[in-house]
Structure 1
Amino acid sequence: MKVIDILKEKGDVVKSVNPTDTVQFLSRRLFQEKVGAMVVISHTGAVEGIVSERDFTRGLAEYGPSLLAMPVSNIMTRAVISCAPQDSLQAVAQVMTRRRIRHLPVSDGVKLIGLVSIGDVLNHRLEEVQREANVLRDNTIEIR
C-alpha cells in the first residue's frame, strides 16, 4: 500500500496556519480541527515549516504563558521532512519511527498535496495485515 492510498480515502485537504499567526490561534485551530499538527504556509503558499502538539508543549515549557501571544514561527519545525505519494506505508512508518515524528507532509515534488499521520499509516497497515492473514487462512482451508 502507498501514501496515495491514504490520501484517496482521507482527502488532500491540508490544515495549515501562517507563520505570523499566534500560538493561541494555532492552539484553537488544533482543537477545533481535531488534529495534532498543521503545516505552516506563508502568504505566498510556500511551506515554511510544520508545527505539532509537541512543538506547542516544548514552547510552553520554554516560554511559559507568554507563548500564546508569540507567532507560530517561534515554535515551528523549519526542517520539514516529507514523503511522496508513491512511497510505501512501510517506508513512511520507518521514517516516522526513526525520526520520532508523527506527521509527514506529502509532496509531489512541486507542491504540497496532503498530510499523513502515524495513525493513518498504522490503520492502513493493520488493514493490510488483516487482509494478508485472511488470504493465508483461506488458502490453508482450501488446501485441506
Structure 2
Amino acid sequence: MRVREILDAKGRNVVTIRGETAINTALHRLALERIGALVVSEDGSHLDGILSERDVIQALARHGVDILEPGRRVSEIMTRAVQTCAPDDSVKELMERMTRLRIRHLPVLDGGMIAGIVSIGDVVKNRLDEVSLEADLLREAYIVSH
C-alpha cells in the first residue's frame, strides 16, 4: 500500500496557514477544523513549516501565556525542519518512521508541491482495513476448503 492510496481514499485537502498569522488565530483554526496540525505555506503550494499541537505546547512551556499575546506569529513557534513523504512511499515505511520519530502528521510532497497530508490516524485506519480484509479472505478460504 502506498501513500497515494490513502490520499485517494481520504482526499488531498490540506489546511494551510501563513507564517505571519497570529498564533491565537492559528489555535482557533486548529479547533475549528478539528485537526492537530496546520501546514504553514505562504502560497498554499510550497511547504514553509508545520504548526502542530505539540509546537504550541512546547512554546507555552518555554514562554508561558505570553506566546498568546497579539503580535506573536506562527513563524515564531512552527517547526521548520518538516518531515515529509511522497505519494509513492509505502505506508509500512511511513508507520515505522512516524513511530520512531514520534510524529503524527506528514505533509505529502509531489514535485516539491504540497499534495496532501497523512496523519497517524490515517495510517492506523489503513492498517486496520488491511488486517480486516486479510481476515475476511482467510475466513472465505477456510469455508471454501471445508
TM-score, scaled to structure 2: 0.93
Correspondence for 2:58: 58
Correspondence for 1:90: 92
4+ runs of 1 displaced by more than 4 Å? none
User: For 1:47, what is the secondary structure of its paired residue?
Assistant: coil
Correspondence for 2:36: 36
Question: Aligned partners of 1:43 and 1:111: how far apart in 2?
Answer: 10
Report the identity percentage.
45
Q: Root-mean-square deviation (CA), in Å?
A: 1.3
Between Structure 1 and Structure 2, how many residues are aligned?
144
Q: Which letter does structure 2 place at the counterpart of 1:130?
A: S
Correspondence for 1:49: 49
Unaligned runs of 5+ in 1: none
Alignment equivalent of 1:124, drawn from 123, 126, 134:
126
Question: Aligned partners of 2:2 and 2:43: how far apart in 1?
Answer: 31
**Aligned residues of 2:23 and 2:73 also touching (Cα < 8 A):** yes
Superposition deviation, residue 45 in structure 1:
4.5
Question: Aligned partners of 2:109 and 2:2: how far apart in 1?
Answer: 13
Q: Residues 103-118 of structure 1: matches in 2 within 5 Å?
A: 103-118=105-120
Worse-matched range after superposition: 27-36 or 56-65: 56-65
TM-score, scaled to structure 1: 0.94
